[in-house]
Chains A and B, each alone.
Chain A
Amino acid sequence: MTSTTPSATTLGRPEDPAARLPLLDIRNLTVGYGEAAPSVQGVTLRVEPGEIVGLIGESGSGKSTVAMAALGLLPRSARIEAERFDVCGVDIRSASTRELNTLRGSSVAMVFQDAMGALDPCMRVGAQIAEVVKRHQRLRGAACRNEVLELMARVGLPNPETRARQYPHQLSGGLRQRAAIALALAGKPRILLADEPTTALDVTVQAGILRLFRRIRDELNVAIVLISHDMGVIAQTADRVAVMLDGSVVEQGSVEQVLLSPETPYTRKLLESAPSLDTEPARTEAGDAPVTGQHGSDPERRTDLMTVTGVTRRFRVKGRHITAVSDVSLSVKRGEVLGIVGESGSGKSTLAKLLVHLDKPSAGTLAMDGLDYTRLRGARARRFRDAVQMVFQHPAGSLNPRLKVGTSIREPMRASKVSRGDGEDRVRGLLREVGLPEGCGDRLPHEFSGGQKQRIAIARALSSSPDVVILDEPTSALDVSVQAQVLDLLDRLRSQHDLTYVFISHNLAVVRQVSDRVAVMYAGRVVEVGDCATIFANPQHWYTRTLIAAVPSTDPRHRNDGEGEAPRVGGSGAAGNATPPTDNAPACAFATRCPRAEARCWAEAPTLTEVGPGQQAACHFPAARGAVAEQGGS
């Protein structure tokens, strides 16, 4: 890690009496627009110097509004009322534009969710940071340059000199967020507002960024307000927590107090609906299914339904070959839920497209019920499409905004020539089944919430009576409580319709909760596959172990503080992205990040081999059996 020199920082200001005042002192804050119900109502929040306060809540709970209000960045139409609203000693309610401009950046700074959007795409990263250094530290020339490089080194950007000259699009997601943090720190603020700073990142990258936040607090004594919907993120990082619901803080206290012994029913509900690796996966309908995660009750019925053999998908991008999916062999058994996990760029979505025949493999075959459909056309291709349907991550994007939802749901039926009357009956039936009012087929997508849109997408997938549904991150865009309901619905539909699911997600906890078997993908390959319980209890591939260890535990007592815990992974954002290999990558793509890698891993590609009953891993040096991986980053 980068060496840190406390002398160069704003450590303390110990004799300053202002340092002992709370940095953020909000009493009874209400923010409203027009005649509508206020989006923030009676919020009271104090943040002391050097403290990390977690602000947790679902979308629309007003967490971001509080942060934007503290920066004085709410639109002019907002009505702000408060008994007290002091930020670093400045009263936001009466501050002039000039006072606010000085306050922003030099006392309060903000880190946003989407680092790609938060950085100017037309400006070199170093120049953007330098702009803030010049404004607030009044440094020029070489002094400014050195400060920029030091900031970049401090937030863990490797080779600051090179990175400073790059544009945001040349950095990976994790590095970009580090650059955004450097930008926020450039004015030497005393309080940092971070709005979902890791939500868009892979779990291994997230671990590194969360550690960085704690380090910034420790070294620079900067207070941090960490806004997140993720219990694990808060549990791993915050000292105190405030839970928000519909614009109000419903519970506030130390992180242990709130997360371990929640007092309000809402906090309890939030904690229960958030799937976690800490607890045994609870079947949603506890009475119905055994806790072991076994679905199809007849073992003899569990024959192979879809077989994927040696499938490869290569793309040619500007003269470079990118292998998005590389020699993948898998089978999906009738009636099971096969979970596919992996980080961004691991090829899971490309595999999904191949499975539903939206894309053709460069090599290999895909078969359904023994029939090769790799190059199907015409009527047989249509019959195949009826049997295999897909649900996408963004329900809003996958529904045509100008089509009535009933029309969208009917669309897959068109191939099977359903008469108009029958079709309408079916649409009503499907809507009822996914828990929406029967008559809402006449409405347009924008009239529905995110969870309802996903229910519509599920109804559309079911309308051709498929055998298999490919679910590509079906709940990633949803709040936890809505996610729990949708997972519940999917489980019910599966048993009612005898469905087989392929469930693709980056969220390990969700995959563990719903799957019978799990395949772990890394850089286009399946590196480990096996029974769900076995994989999570006893991961053999080092990537699986890294992945499981990086999932933030929702138990604040299990903090992953040691930098050495996840070797060579969490420490740098650079290592976090599973980039699809170009033609000349090492034989085992994980070798560059693997703690166990030896020369053989560079020379010889490991193949999937049996490492235990119902478990295969592609690793030359699988983890010792029985040495149960410590879960949840403890």
Chain B
Amino acid sequence: MSQSVTGASGAQPRQRALRLPVPPPLVGFIIRRALRGVIVLFALSLLAFGLVHLLPGSPVDTLAGPYSDAATRARLTTDLGLDKPLPVQYVTWLANTLSGDFGTSVFNGLPVRELIGDRLPNTLQLAVFATLTSIAWGIPAGALSAMKRGRLFDATARATTFVGLAIPVFAFGVALVLLFSIAFPSWPTLGFVPFSQDPAQNLQSMVLPSIALGLPLGSTLCRFMRSSMLEVYEQDFIRTALATGSTHLQATMRHGLRNAAAPVATVAGLQMAGIVGNSILIENVFAIPGIGQLTVTAITQHDVAVAQACILVLGATYVVLNFAVDLLLPLIDPQIGAK
């Protein structure tokens, strides 16, 4: 064979000598995404700190009560370190947080780490189950909808997703609770059992919240999957597959799904924000002790340390989940990271 432009024998030694240590594209891609996550987390810490301090009122009001005298208030302010300038407070807080010390709740005196540690698994469990629910119905329904374009299934799926997108998550949750308590009175509609206590009951109690959270989010995925599939059907490589004797189903399974899935995976990643955010509402509806509940209580009670830590942890969860999706993307589409 003739030589390629870069593979010519004479150029080889020179190229080796001058080559800089450039990481392979995929590693570079992952490093860039990880760095981006770190930067987002840092910005988030500023935001969490700033927001909590911008809220009207202060933890001193909560602790001292409305009829306290000025001396008590001044003592409390000094104790909590609130008399120092904000940048100093921020740096102290950040340093403590980085070393794993989130402080203590001013409200009940418990370490924040413990408060969060108790609730984070519940929230994560809910988020993961809801994501799985949304993927489990959204992706197949979207793909099937595209395959059966214009038929009854397509029309039904599209009507369903429309409703799913229009209903607010908490309303849907409340409706589910009412519906289930009438239809299946024995089903544990409300309340939560930790996994460590009773796995079977825990899973049972997760069913309704996961559906409440996952079904509406799956509607978005379903819509994206459908349009993504239809786009892929227009592509030349599907025509190539058909021209080499694939049946329509074979072409869809081998070449269609994976190509359609890449853009949908990105959307699924972005939806994580929705899941983490909506879990606050769903936790309240189903009385699940999670981070969402804790955050809301902490903010209303001016529990600065808890509120800051909660915002940071929720944000970190989102960043980590998104990073996980970024790691999955090159597996689906080999062009990502190579461009």
Contacts and interface: CB of A to CB of B under 8 A. Distances in A.
Interface string A95-115: 001000111111001101010
Given A167-B334, A584-B19, A104 B5 contact: no
Contact of B2 (A159, A184, A571, A586): A571
A609 B339 CA distance: 38
Interface string B5-38: 1111011001100111010010010000000000
A119 B1 contact: no
B1 A112 contact: no
A187 to B, nearest CB: 6
A121 B259 contact: yes
A346 B4 CA distance: 16
Interface string B197-241: 000000000000000000000000000000000000001110111
A122 B2 contact: no
Interface string A474-515: 000000000000000000000000000000000000000000
A579 B22 contact: no
Contact of A158 (B4, B10, B241): B4
A118 interface: yes
A1 B11 CA distance: 23
Interface stretch (A80-88, A130-138, A364-372, A408-416): A130-138
B8 A586 contact: yes
Interface stretch (B134-142, B243-251, B274-282, B303-311): B243-251
B148 interface: no
B247 A118 contact: no
Interface string A131-168: 11001100000000000000000001011000000010
Nearest to A166: B334
B258 interface: yes
A380 interface: no
A301 B237 CA distance: 55
B4 A122 contact: no
Given A136-B245, A318-B25, A584-B15, A169 B2 contact: no
Of residues B18, B237, B243, B339, which shows the largest number of chain A Cβ atoms within 10 Å of its Cβ?
Answer: B243
A109 B254 contact: no
Given A122-B258, A318-B25, A586-B11, A575 B3 contact: yes
Given A584-B18, A592-B5, A101 B245 contact: yes
A101 B240 contact: no
Given A112-B240, A584-B18, A101 B247 contact: yes
Question: What is the size category of the interface that chain A forms with chain B?
Answer: 35 or more
A132 B245 contact: yes
A574 B4 contact: yes
Contacts of B14: 584, 586
A90 to B, nearest CB: 13
B11 A186 contact: no
A292 interface: no
Contacts of B334: 121-122, 167, 169
Interface string A557-588: 00000000000110110110111000111100
B335 A110 contact: no
A254 B112 CA distance: 88
Nearest to B1: A158
A121 B5 contact: no
B22 A574 contact: no
Contact of B244 (A183, A569, A574, A575): A183
Contacts of B20: 319
A596 to B, nearest CB: 14
B245 A568 contact: no
Nearest to B236: A117
Interface in A1-32: 1-2
A584 B22 CA distance: 14
B63 interface: no
Contacts of B241: 120
B193 interface: no
B243 A109 contact: yes
B326 interface: no
A3 B175 CA distance: 72
B291 to A, nearest CB: 37
B332 interface: yes
Nearest to B234: A117
Nearest to B245: A105
B239 A73 contact: yes
A618 interface: no
A213 B256 CA distance: 30
Nearest to A157: B1
B11 A602 contact: yes
A593 interface: yes
B11 A105 contact: no
Contacts of B243: 71, 73, 104-105, 109-110, 184
A602 B10 contact: yes
B244 A105 contact: yes
Contacts of B235: 117
A320 interface: yes
Interface of B: 1-8, 10-11, 14-15, 18-20, 22, 25, 28, 235-237, 239-247, 254-255, 258-259, 262, 332-335, 338-339
27 contacts: A71-B242, A71-B243, A104-B242, A105-B243, A114-B236, A117-B235, A118-B237, A119-B237, A120-B259, A122-B262, A123-B254, A158-B1, A167-B334, A169-B335, A169-B338, A169-B339, A170-B338, A180-B240, A184-B244, A319-B22, A568-B2, A568-B3, A583-B18, A585-B11, A592-B5, A592-B11, A602-B10
Interface of A: 1-2, 71, 73, 97, 101-106, 109-110, 112, 114, 117-123, 131-132, 135-136, 156, 158-159, 167, 169-170, 180, 183-184, 186-187, 318-320, 568-569, 571-572, 574-575, 577-579, 583-586, 591-593, 599, 602
Given A584-B18, A602-B11, 5 more contacts: A112-B236, A112-B240, A118-B237, A571-B1, A592-B8
